[in-house]
């Protein structure tokens, strides 16, 4: 049986409610800026951002970081990964290819914190974290990626309504900058900026 070719990010299974945030990022991205999404699942949100960039005639590089094995705090996702042979990387790559977005999206199959080592310090204007949803997992990702965030850049993420995530974001944010302004954005996302002293 032939697999159906998807025609839009909307055809991708996943969780995505931060379109307005990604619209803003797409519109503000300068020519040499990159964006990192940590925890991409099957690619719905990062494909949306790539499609928006194409519509704006931009070719910014987007990095999709995931180990594609699910996360221990989401049993339903683990079951789906197991049913697919232990990884959903092939599904993600098919979605990106079907939409013709390989020129914008670079896949990094890796533990999220380990992947941060591939990037120079203070080099990434925007990072979106949506990987492990435990307090410890969020703290680990924030600690790994914060040094790589550019001065003036935005640390962003999802599921801010979840108590463990909210606690980790506030603990980390105020630890690195006691004057941090942590914002709830477009409903269930968060964001705070790295000042030039952080």
**Cβ neighbours around 8 below 10 Å, total:** 11
Among 110, 144, 139, 99, residue whose Cα is nearest residue 124: 144
**Confidence (pLDDT) at 84:** 87
Q: Note whether 129 and 165 are within 8 A (CB).
A: no
**Confidence (pLDDT) at 72:** 67
The residue extents of the domains of the chain are: 33-193
Kindly report, residue by residue over 69-106, the tens digit of the pLDDT.
Answer: 987 667 777 888 888 899 999 999 999 999 999 999 99
**Confidence (pLDDT) at 131:** 94
Residue 79 CA to residue 192 CA, distance in Å, equals 33
- The distance from CA 191 to its chain's CA centroid, rounded to whole angstroms, is 12
**Confidence (pLDDT) at 2:** 54
Reduced to 3 states, what is the DSSP secondary structure of residue 132?
coil
Residue 3 CA to residue 97 CA, distance in Å, equals 13
Residue 144 CA to residue 139 CA, distance in Å, equals 8
**Confidence (pLDDT) at 41:** 95
The pTM assigned to this predicted structure is 0.94
**Confidence (pLDDT) at 71:** 77
Q: Which residues contact 85 (CB under 8 A, 6 or more apart)?
A: none
Q: Tell me which of 3.40.50.150, 3.30.470.30, 2.60.40.1730, 3.40.50.2000 is the CATH number of domain 33-193.
A: 3.40.50.150
**Confidence (pLDDT) at 1:** 46
For the chain, residues with pLDDT lower than 50 are 1
Question: 């909307």: which residue's tokens?
Answer: 10
**Confidence (pLDDT) at 5:** 92
């Amino acid at each position: 049986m032939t697999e159906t070719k998807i025609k839009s990010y909307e055809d991708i299974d996943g969780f995505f409610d931060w379109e307005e945030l990604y619209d803003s990022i797409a519109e503000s991205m300068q020519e040499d800026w990159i964006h990192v999404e940590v925890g991409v699942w099957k690619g719905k949100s990062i494909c949306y951002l790539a499609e928006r960039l194409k519509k704006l005639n931009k070719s910014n590089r987007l990095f999709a970081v995931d180990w594609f094995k699910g996360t221990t705090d989401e049993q339903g996702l683990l079951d789906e990964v197991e049913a697919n042979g232990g990884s959903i990387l092939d599904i993600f790559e098919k979605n990106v290819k079907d939409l013709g977005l390989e020129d914008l999206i670079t896949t990094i199959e890796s533990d999220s914190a380990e992947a941060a080592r591939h990037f120079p310090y203070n080099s990434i204007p925007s990072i979106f974290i949506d990987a492990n949803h435990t307090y410890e997992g969020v703290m680990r990702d924030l600690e790994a990626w914060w040094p790589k965030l550019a001065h003036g850049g935005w640390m962003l993420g999802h599921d801010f309504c979840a108590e463990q995530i909210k606690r980790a974001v506030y603990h980390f944010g105020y630890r690195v900058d006691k004057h941090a302004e942590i914002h709830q954005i477009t409903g269930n996302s968060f964001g705070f900026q790295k000042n030039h002293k952080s």
